[in-house]
């Protein structure tokens, strides 16, 4: 293979912007502390955007073997980058025969390959001289993923029926998957999303732990959230199957909290067959413009695919499974900064409600008050007041939605 010289992106701290929060050393695991291999994890995860890219001219090359073919490649890069440079299809939307690498921060492990006999996330592992890489994993391969925060919850998520939220005590146990395919500046869970310090675990381990939490807290609902919980499909399917096996009683509910951006109909069918009973998809926007603003994605074509898939997911579940087989509650993130002015805010929210009404006006909606979090110190953003949330709720109801709830800093507001 002829190597075409190109500049490689590396990342380094801008000391004048660094606030010393240690997020990049305590939460993020740098896969190559001695020389940057450009994985981007610290760049994507620094809450103050103090890590900046710089372009470096590569000087040395090394030899690696990929799927039994030898290649000469630049040193000091990740396996994922090496695969891209030698022409592999590496994608952020699942495609047949492509390596799916949606989070790029070491959390989801969907991008795993076999390198020198060990399964590793390709986005988070440096190439080495003589490395032997297999991109196809065997059928017996046990997927792993970074999962954190096993805990009981008093309110659940957007896919939790609203009438349960008013009960006292815990109603759900949950765990949280690291890695997300969105880049929201207002990420409410960024400590989980960008976490790569802990060891990835098998779906069976996670199901055993969550079941133990269910028993300890005497609840029927078990949830997985994130980050984005759907990114590693084999992992999630095995997790739900194992949860179903461990919890065969009729009261057990298995709840998926998701941005729904890759939930195609075949994936949904597989989740239902594996035991999913409840789902809380976020429909972050109706227009691409607002979706880009919320998710901070820059690739418009990719973002449009994610947005279309999320709406199609809600329609598919409504047409095939809701409400008899699957309970579905939809989330709508809200903050006035997502809209350029008052007129557009009302227009977008009305269009969002109209589109959902056409699918089914009875679907439960939870408006989420997006508060200043993560990179919000760089935005002029304030916490929506309970009154503002009530106004948005009325707006959606006036269009025809029948079950609108709102999360506010003073607690949840029920439908009526």
Binding site for ligand FES (CB under 6 A): 101-104, 106-111, 121, 123-124, 179
Per CB under 6 A, 31 contacts ligand SF4: yes
Per CB under 6 A, 36 contacts ligand SF4: yes
Q: Which stretch binds ligand SF4 (CB under 6 A): 29-37, 83-91, 159-167, 224-232?
A: 29-37
The partner in contact with residue 36, picked from ligand SF4, ligand FES, none with C-beta cut-offs of 5 to 8 angstroms by kind, is ligand SF4
Per CB under 6 A, 22 contacts ligand SF4: yes
For residue 341, the minimal CB distance to ligand SF4 (Å) is 33
Rounded to whole angstroms, how far apart are CA atoms 310 and 258? 9
What contacts 183, CB < 8 A, 6 or more positions away? 44, 295, 296, 297
Per CB under 6 A, 48 contacts ligand SF4: yes
> Residue 65: how many CB atoms within 10 A of its CB?
13
For residue 105, the minimal CB distance to ligand FES (Å) is 6
Q: Are 146 and 101 in contact (CB under 8 A)?
A: no
∠ CA 305-160-255, nearest 5°, is 65
Q: Where are the beta strands (DSSP E) in 178-246?
A: 221-226
Per CB under 6 A, 169 contacts ligand SF4: no
The partner in contact with residue 384, picked from ligand SF4, ligand FES, none with C-beta cut-offs of 5 to 8 angstroms by kind, is none
- Contacts by 270-276, CB closer than 8 A, 24 or more apart: 270/233, 270/237, 271/236, 271/237, 271/240, 272/321, 272/325, 272/326, 274/237, 274/238, 274/240, 274/241, 274/244, 275/240, 275/241, 275/243, 275/244, 276/240, 276/326
Per CB under 6 A, 41 contacts ligand SF4: yes
Q: Which residue has the tokens 């040395």?
A: 60
Q: Which of 1, 3, 7, 21 binds ligand SF4 (CB under 6 A)?
A: 21
Q: Which of 8, 43, 229, 280 binds ligand SF4 (CB under 6 A)?
A: 43
Q: Which of 1, 3, 6, 19 binds ligand SF4 (CB under 6 A)?
A: 19
Binding residues (CB under 6 A) for ligand SF4: these are 11, 13, 18-24, 30-32, 36-43, 46, 48, 50-51
């Amino acid at each position: 293979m002829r190597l075409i010289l190109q500049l490689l992106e590396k990342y380094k701290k801008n000391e004048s912007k660094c606030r010393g929060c240690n997020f990049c050393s305590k939460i993020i695991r740098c896969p190559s502390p001695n020389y940057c291999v450009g994985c981007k994890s610290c760049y994507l995860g620094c809450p103050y955007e103090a890590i900046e890219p710089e372009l470096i001219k590569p000087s040395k090359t090394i030899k690696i073997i990929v799927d039994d073919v030898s290649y000469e490649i630049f040193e000091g890069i990740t396996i994922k980058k090496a695969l891209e440079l030698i022409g592999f299809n590496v994608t952020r939307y699942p495609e047949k025969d492509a390596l799916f690498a949606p989070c790029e921060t070491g959390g989801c492990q969907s991008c795993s390959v076999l390198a020198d006999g060990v399964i590793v996330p390709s986005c988070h592992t440096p190439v080495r001289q003589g490395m032997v890489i297999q991109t196809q994993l065997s059928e017996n391969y046990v997927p792993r993923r970074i999962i954190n925060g096993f805990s009981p919850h008093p309110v659940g998520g957007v896919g939790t029926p609203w009438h349960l939220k008013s009960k006292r005590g815990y109603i759900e146990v949950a765990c949280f998957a690291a890695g997300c395919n969105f880049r929201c500046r207002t990420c409410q869970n960024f400590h989980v999303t960008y976490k790569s310090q802990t060891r990835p675990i098998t779906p069976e381990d996670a199901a055993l732990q969550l079941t133990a939490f269910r028993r300890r807290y005497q609840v029927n609902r078990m949830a997985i959230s994130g980050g984005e919980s759907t990114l590693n499909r084999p992992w999630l399917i095995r997790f739900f199957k194992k949860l179903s096996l461990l919890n065969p009683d009729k009261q057990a509910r298995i709840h998926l909290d998701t941005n729904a951006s890759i939930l195609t109909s075949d994936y949904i069918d597989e989740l239902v067959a594996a035991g999913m009973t409840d789902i809380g998809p976020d429909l972050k926007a109706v227009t691409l413009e607002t979706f880009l603003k919320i998710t901070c994605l820059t690739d418009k074509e990719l973002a449009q695919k994610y947005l279309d898939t999320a709406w199609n997911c809600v329609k598919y579940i409504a047409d095939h499974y809701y409400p008899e087989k699957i309970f579905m509650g939809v989330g709508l993130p809200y903050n006035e900064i997502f809209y350029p002015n008052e007129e557009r805010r009302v227009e977008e929210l009305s269009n969002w409600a109209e589109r959902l009404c056409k699918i089914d006006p009875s679907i439960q909606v939870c408006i989420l008050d997006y508060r200043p979090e993560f990179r919000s110190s760089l935005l002029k953003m304030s916490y929506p007041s309970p009154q503002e949330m009530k106004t948005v709720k009325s707006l959606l109801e006036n269009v025809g939605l029948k079950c609108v709830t709102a999360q506010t800093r003073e607690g949840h507001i029920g439908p009526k």
